[in-house]
Structure 1
Amino acid sequence: MSQNLTYLEIAYKILSEEPKLKEVHYRDLANKAFDLGLIESDDLIIAGNIASAINANIRKSKSQGTEPKFISFGKGLYGLSEHEPKGIFADIRNKNQNVKKQLLEALHAMHPSKFEELIGEVLRNLGFENVQITGKTGDGGIDVTGELIVAGLIKNNVSVQVKRWRNNVQRASISELRGSLRPHQIGLFITTSDFSRQSAEEAENPFKAPISLMNGNELVDLLCEFGVGIILEKVTIFDIDKNEINFDFPEPTETAEKGIEIFANYKNHKHFAIYFSPTKIVYENEVYNSPSGAGMKVQNGLPVNGWKFWKFTDAKTGKIHPIERLRKK
């Protein structure tokens, strides 16, 4: 390896120098490292070594009780913990992710005809014209058709097949859709699940009629973008503008009351609070006179030992501990 960097150092270098790269596949990390001259080859073996190094680092950090430097998003995607939102921004992200999961489950529960109508609405929002729902006619497995006009000149006739599946779409389904296409038609396969590697390869075959793919997560993202099935809530957050010339903001003094950010995981959701003292914990802008009181609020009234329920990250060591360590002896 160039510059005597380890695979872990290479991954961190690429992800840290390009903050926009929130989630990157390990093969893309290898490609980027090769372009930068950090590795001599970007073959699958080296890409796998990079992924293995990241996974090992994550496991080691968790076993030591420290926050991992890297985050695994699944399906070979990785990012840096330092790029993840903190505090209230993390709460917003977690809330949105939970809503997306609920929305995906709602899609699975929809009646097939209603689901096809929903897809038609999505296509219209994407700019398709003459959208027709054809599923009931049994037109060769085609459920929706539409026209997508590019630059006002090129008209693409698109035939869409939609499936409310939980299992991944396989190659045979892509081939069946392609077999239903008429001359000069483009295929689009939309599913609430995902696509196997073989089906994706079949869809991308450059020597056959083109097939585009949209999985469940991509569909949910579009629904959220178009405001379909969700309610958009505006959140206003204030911060001080220290560049404002009409104000003279004093610097913080040692006498100012300082709190420690604490957190707790409950039902796959991370809750944040501020610990000031054993009798002052602030959670969701409410002051509680004990950690247990704040913990009960999180658990909807269920009793809890707040000193063990809430955790904090030691600023010096990076290790995570129960807040009972903060108690004054």
Structure 2
Amino acid sequence: MADEAQIPPYQDFLWPAVVALRTLGGSASIDELLEQVIVQQRYSEEQQAVLHGDGPRTEIGYRLAWARTYLKGMGLAENSQRGVWSLTEAGLNVEPEQIEPLRQKYIAASRSKNGARPRRKDSTPESEGFDESWEDQLLGRIMRLSPASFERLAQRLLREAGFTNTQVTGRSGDGGIDGLGVYRLSLVSFPIFFQCKRYVGSVGAGDVRDFRGAMAGRGDKGLVITTGTFTAEAKKEATRDGAPPLDLIDGSTLCTLMKEYGLGVIVTTRAVEDVSIDEEFFETGF
């Protein structure tokens, strides 16, 4: 198993992230950006499986998150409320030799703004911690479920998404198939087999092939749901030419769907006031 030492530090993700965004047309979702960086940098499945701490975030995903944050602070990238990252004009034109000077400039400006504080010589953003997101908290809670409970959660989620006759059928000797549901699209309906993988880490291409093999002769529509991630090779295998395509739901997508359907997530909307001075009021003499 690879370890964190085999994953480059966050600053080595800065230029690859810029190149990946350029390759993707100047903008990308977080998942698209991560997958493109993995492909371009040729990270192995073993490297993709390395977790940050106890997970669920992978070390590559964690360090790329820091790189995104730095690119934003360096004025090279920006993100929308929907989590889409895009290059600014400066990001579209930056050269690789400019990255490190811009990073040092951003670090100096941040320290000046936040006040000087003692730092270890080997201090890095990784060593200073990363705020746990609601997605991390939700995945942590799901990980405390039993395997059977996670299967029932997947069943409930699919029902909320419009599946009918959804059943949990997982049993030993069933080749990894955990359930079956029927999805209707307009006038056509078709069965979809699903598999639940409740663990941290990455689902590899071998797991995808095994699940497809278990479906052989029984159906050609499949769905793999995991609390972890899928390696780039697994995603490629899921859509391989000549083989029945499989749909993949990773931990991030699972959290988004649970939020969308109100399962285990409470969303509170807060009103924020923007207050500014009305100069015209004062100038007109009240």
TM-score w.r.t. structure 2 length?
0.55
- The answer to whether structure 1 residue 172 and structure 2 residue 206 are counterparts is yes
Structure possessing the higher radius of gyration over alpha carbons: 1
Among 99, 104, 108, which residue is 1:64 paired with?
A: 108
Matching of residue 150 in structure 1 with residue 194 in structure 2: no
SS at match of 1:29: helix
* Distance 1:167-1:240 versus aligned 2 partners, 3 A rule: closer
Q: Structure 1 pair 114/252, CA: closer, same or farther in 2 (3 Å)?
A: farther
The offset of 1:51, in angstroms, is: 9.7
- Say whether the 8 Å CA contact 2:163–2:184 is kept in structure 1: yes
Q: Does the Cα contact within 8 Å between 1:156 and 1:185 map onto a contact in 2?
A: no
In the TM superposition, residue 184 of structure 1 has moved relative to its aligned partner by: 3.8
Unaligned runs of 5+ in 2: 1-13, 27-38, 42-92, 112-129
Q: CA deviation at 1:100?
A: 2.0
CA distance in 1, matches of 2:223, 2:265: 25
Q: 1:223 to 1:250 in 2, by over 3 A?
A: same
- 1:280-319 counterparts in 2 under 5 A? none
Question: Which amino acid in the other structure matches residue 233 of structure 1?
Answer: T
1:234 to partner: Cα distance:
2.7
- The one-character-per-residue Cα deviations of 1:275-315 (angstroms, maximum 9, x if unpaired) are xxxxxxxxxxxxxxxxxxxxxxxxxxxxxxxxxxxxxxxxx
Q: Show structure 1 runs of 5+ residues with no match.
A: 1-10, 12-23, 34-42, 68-93, 243-248, 254-329
| Number of the residue aligned with 1:209 | 244
SS for the counterpart of 1:161 is: strand
Task: Determine the structure 1 residue equivalent to 2:23.
Answer: 30
Partner of 1:310: none
> Is contact 1:187–1:212 with CA below 8 Å preserved after alignment?
yes
CA–CA distance in structure 1, aligned partners of residues 97 and 157 of structure 2: 41
Offset of residue 225 of structure 1: 1.2
More strand by share: 1
* Structure 1 residues 243-258: aligned runs within 5 Å: 249-251=278-280
Q: Which residue of 2 aligns with 1:200?
A: 235
8 Å CA contact 2:193, 2:219 repeated in 1: no
The CA distance in 1 between the partners of 2:222 and 2:95, in whole Å, is 34
1:147-174: CA deviation from partner (whole Å, max 9, x where unpaired): 11112x2222111111112121111100
**Contact 2:239–2:245 (8 Å) recurs in 1:** yes
Relative to its length, the structure with more helix (as a share) is: 2
Question: Contact (CA 8 Å) 1:26, 1:51: kept in 2 or not?
Answer: no
Distance 1:136 1:149 in 2: 26
Q: Secondary structure at the match of 2:25?
A: helix
Instruction: Return the structure number with greater relative CO, CA threshold 8 A, min gap 6.
Output: 2
Shift of 1:109: 1.1
TM-score in terms of structure 1 length = 0.49
Q: Could you list the per-position Cα deviations for residues 252-276 of structure 1 after superposition, in whole angstroms to 9, with x for gaps in the alignment?
A: 87xxxxxxxxxxxxxxxxxxxxxxx
Measure the CA separation in 1 of the matches of 2:258 and 2:141.
12
Alignment of 1:112-123 (within 5 A): 112-123=147-158
SS of alignment partner, residue 272 of structure 2: coil
Are the counterparts in 2 of residues 134 and 144 from structure 1 also a CA contact under 8 Å? yes
CA deviation profile, 1:217-276 (whole Å, cap 9, x unmatched): 11011111111112222312344699xxxxxx54487xxxxxxxxxxxxxxxxxxxxxxx
- The answer to whether 1:185 aligns with 2:220 is yes
Distance between the aligned counterparts of 1:251 and 1:138, measured in 2? Answer: 77
Q: In the alignment, is residue 231 of structure 1 matched against residue 224 of structure 2?
A: no
Distance 1:252 1:118, change over 3 A: farther
Residue 174 of structure 2 corresponds to: 139
Q: Is the 8 A contact 1:190 1:214 kept in 2?
A: yes
Measured at CA, do residues 27 and 173 of structure 1 come closer, stay the same or move farther in structure 2, by a change above 3 Å? Answer: same
Q: 1:51 to 1:206 in 2, by over 3 A?
A: farther
